[in-house]
Amino acid sequence: MLSTKVTCNSHGQDSSYFLGWEEYEKNPYDEVKNPKGIIQMGLAENQLSFDLLESWLENHPQPSAFKNQKNQSIFKELALFQDYHGLPAFKNALVKFMSEIRGNTVTFDANNLVLTAGATSANETLMFCLANPGDAFLLPTPYYPGFDRDLKWRTGAEIVPIHCSSINGFKITKSALEDAYKQAEKQKLKVKGVLVTNPSNPLGTSLTLHELDLLVNFISSKNIHLISDEIYSGTVFRSPSFISIMEVLKNKNLMNSEISKRVHIVYSLSKDLGLPGFRIGAIYSNDARVVSAATKMSSFGLVSSQTQYLLSEILSDYNFTKSYLSENRQRLKERHEKLVKGLKTSGITCLDSNSGLFCWVDMRHLLSSNTFEGEMELWKKIVYEVGLNISPGSSCHCSEPGWFRVCFANMSEQTLDVAMQRIRSFVDSLAKKNMSRHQQLMNRNSRRTKSLPKWVFELSFHQRDVSADER
C-alpha cells in the first residue's frame, strides 16, 4: 500500500548504529532511577557548555520573549510569513561566526549562504542539486552512519567508499581516491563528487594540508564537486589546528576559479553550539546557481524565524562567541583526555585525535575472531552485558573489524566514570575467562602428554630434531 521509496531499506534504520539507540531507549541509565541501565555513548551530542548559553539567555531575556533590544514586541514580525532567503541579520552573524571558528583566516559572504534545517537537510539538498538518481559520491571510510540516509534515501544518489586503513591512521591517499573512482566506474556509476567530513566523524581528526591538497587536485583533475561537511569545525581542541577547505582555496589563489565553484561547505550549529534540537544548518557555495537552487529547495526545511532571531542575537555578541568557543574547546579537551586515560587503564587505546565529540577506539584485541561477526558479537556484549551503547565500526563502513566510536560529551563526568568502571570490569572478566581457558588447555595437554606411551615421545623428539636439521 505504500510507495517503494518508504518501503525500500536504504534509510539505514536497521543499522546497528540506530539499533543501539533503540536498546538505550528501552533501558536508559539513570544514576538514581536506573543505575543498571544502558549508558548512551553512541550519540554525538555536546552537552558540555549549556551553562554558558543558559547564562547568556538569563542576561539577555528579550530575544526569547520575542522582543527587540528596545524591549518592543516583534512577535508578529516573527510569526508572519518568512521567505526562504532567511533573516539577513542571522546570515550575517552566522558567516562571522564561521570565520571566527577559522581564526578569521577566511571570510564568508552571506549572499553565498543557504539556511537549512540542520546539516542533515544541507547534505541532502546538495545531493539534490549536484547528483541525479544513480550518480555517485565518493566518501572516505569510516563515515558518519547517517550519510546512508541523508545522501541516498530520498535522492537516489549512491555512495562509493574510499577505503582508508588503520596503517596510516585512516588518512586519505591518492591511491584510495583513484581506487574508489575506478570502483564506481566498474559499477557503471557516474561520479559527481567527493564528500568529506572535516573534522571527521567518527575519527575525531581534522584533515591535513596534504589530504586537502590531494582532494583539490583530485576534483580538479576529474572535474567533479567537493563537499566539505565542517559541522565539527569549532570542536578542534588541540593541535594540529583546523584547516578549512576555503583556506586551502584561498592559499592556492583559487577563490575566484572554476574549481572554487565546485567546492561547497556544509555547516550547522548542532555540534559547536550543542543545539541539534534547533535545526540550524547551512550550505555555503561559491556557485550562484547552486545557491539559487538550494535556496528554492530550502522551502522544505526552513529554520523557524524565532530560532533565527534568537541565534542572530547570540552570535552577534562577539565577546560571548569568542569566550564560548575557547571555553567549549577546553572542556572538550578535558573530557577527551578523561576518556582516553580511562580506556588506557583497561588496556584499550584510541586513534590519536584533536577534535569531535568522540574517540575512535581500537578493540581489535578483544574480538573472538578478526571478522565483522566477531565485532558484532563484542558489540552485543558491550550493549547488553556491559550496558554501554557505542557504535561499531561496521555501522560507519569501516573496512577493518574491531573499531568502535565512543562519544564523551553527551553525559556528566560521573556517568563517564561509571562507564569506565564498567569497561574495566568487563575487560578484567574477559582476561580471567581467557586465563582459565588457557589453564584448562594446559591441564588437558599435560594430562594427554602423561598418558602417551614413551615411544610417542621419543618419536616426536626425533622428528623435531630432523626438521630442525632440515631448516
* Residues marked as catalytic: 144, 229, 231, 271
How far, in Å, CA of 332 to CA of 55, rounded? 19
Q: Which of 280, 311, 276 is nearest to 407 (CA)?
A: 276
In sequence order, the 6+-apart residues with CB closer than 8 A to the CB of 435 are none
Instruction: Provide the minimum distance between the beta carbon of 237 and ligand PLP in the complex, in angstroms, as a whole number.
Output: 17
Q: What's the rounded Cα separation, in Å, for the pair 444 and 454? A: 18
Choose, by CB under 6 A, the member of 173, 201, 235, 391 that binds ligand PLP: 201
What mask of x and - would describe binding to ligand PLP in positions 213 to 252, judged by CB under 6 A? ----------------x-x---------------------
- Report d(CA 331, CA 336) in Å as an integer: 9
Question: For residues 173 and 228, which CB has a smaller minimum distance to ligand PLP in the complex?
Answer: 228
User: Which cell numbers hold the place of 52?
Assistant: 554558558
Q: Is the peptide bond before 63 cis (omega within 30 degrees of 0)?
A: no
**44 near ligand PLP, rule: CB under 6 A:** yes
Q: How far is the CB of 73 from ligand PLP (least distance, A)?
A: 30
Phi and psi for 283 in degrees, rounded to 5? -110, 135
Residue of closest CB approach to ligand PLP: 118
* Smaller CB separation from ligand PLP, 119 or 419: 119
Annotate each residue in 145-164 with x if it binds ligand PLP (CB under 6 A) or - if it does not, as one string.
Answer: -x------------------
Following CA atoms 444, 447, 448, 454 in sequence, which dihedral angle do they give, to the nearest 10 degrees?
A: 160
Omega before residue 202 within 30° of 0, cis? yes
- Shortest reach from residue 206's CB to ligand PLP, in Å: 13
In the window 255-314, what residues touch ligand PLP (CB under 6 A)?
268, 270, 276, 281
Distance in angstroms (rounded) separating the CA atoms of residues 394 and 400: 8
Rounded to a whole number of angstroms, the minimum distance from the CB of residue 77 to ligand PLP is 26
The continuous run of DSSP H or E covering 92 comes out as: helix 88-101
Min separation Cβ 413 and ligand PLP, Å: 22
Choice between 348 and 396, CB closer to ligand PLP? 396
Distance, in Å, from the CA atom of 91 to the CA atom of 96, rounded to the nearest integer, reads 9
Task: For residue 221, give the amino acid letter.
Answer: S
For residue 190, the minimal CB distance to ligand PLP (Å) is 24
- Residue 403 phi, psi (nearest 5): -105, 145
Binding characters for ligand PLP, 171-200, by CB under 6 A (x = yes)? --------------------------x---
> For cell 552577534, what's the residue?
316
> Which one among 118, 140, 204, 301 touches ligand PLP, defined by CB under 6 A?
118
Can you tell me the distance from the alpha carbon of 305 to that of 78, in angstroms, rounded to the nearest whole number? 5
The piece of 113-121, 380-388, 430-438, 463-471 that touches ligand PLP (CB under 6 A) is 113-121
> Residue 145 in contact with residue 17, Cβ under 8 Å?
yes
* Sole window of 115-123, 327-335, 392-400, 451-459 interacting with ligand PLP (rule: CB under 6 A): 115-123
Q: Which stretch binds ligand PLP (CB under 6 A): 65-73, 80-88, 99-107, 118-126?
A: 118-126
Write down the least CB distance from residue 409 to ligand PLP, Å. Answer: 12
Locate 257 and state its grid cell: 576559479
* CA pair distance 352, 278, nearest whole angstrom: 31
Taking the least distance from each CB to ligand PLP, the nearer of 173 and 201 is 201
Footprint of ligand PLP (CB under 6 A) = 44, 118-120, 144, 146, 197, 201, 229, 231, 268, 270, 276, 281
